[in-house]
Amino acid sequence: MKIVIAVLSCWLLAVSTMHGQSAMLDLREGMMIRISEIEIHPEYLQGYKNILREEAGASVRLEPGVIAIFPMYQKANPAEVRILEIYASREAYEAHVKAPHFQKYKTSTLAVVRSLRLVDMEAIDAQTMNTIFRK
């Protein structure tokens, strides 16, 4: 009986590992990567950063399809904000922009954004990226 349990345990482990690997492959093939280039009116910068911090945290915490929302700013010009966004799929991105926390961010920051440019990207090494951004 112990041998049967051991064999079944090994088989279940192998199946679950293979399933996890295929899920990672699907993630790499269908993921959406974007860099948002945002210029903020300097007098509103601190308020903008507070709202963005709240939105980014909620997105990663609450949305399973949001792999990363990583906001940053240029050291030489803090009003130049960049956000690395990685989604499991286009559908995950479309769900993200409908989420209440994103809608709050968008409506709260309209007047403080001087310019916005959305740059869609492709991963050069998606396999390595998949090991960096695990959920």
Distance of alpha carbon 87 from alpha carbon 73, whole angstroms: 21
In a domain, 130, yes or no: no
Token pair belonging to 61: 């915490």
Written as tens digits, the pLDDT of the chain (135 aa) is: 444 333 333 333 333 333 344 344 344 578 899 999 999 999 999 999 999 999 999 999 999 999 999 999 999 999 999 999 999 999 999 999 999 999 999 999 999 999 999 999 998 887 776 676 565
Q: Are both 45 and 104 inside the same structural domain? A: yes
Supply the DSSP symbol for 98: H
In a domain, 131, yes or no: no
CB 82 within 8 A of CB 36: yes
Burial bucket for residue 113 (CB in 10 Å: 0-12, 13-18, 19+): middle
Distance of alpha carbon 11 from alpha carbon 55, whole angstroms: 42
Which range of residues forms the domain containing residue 53? 32-124
Total-model pTM: 0.75
Count: domains in the chain: 2
Distance of alpha carbon 94 from alpha carbon 103, whole angstroms: 12
In a domain, 133, yes or no: no
Token pair belonging to 72: 């940053």
Distance of alpha carbon 86 from alpha carbon 116, whole angstroms: 18
Number of residues that make up the chain = 135
Q: Are both 81 and 38 inside the same structural domain? A: yes
Q: Are both 69 and 119 inside the same structural domain? A: yes
Q: Are both 56 and 117 inside the same structural domain? A: yes
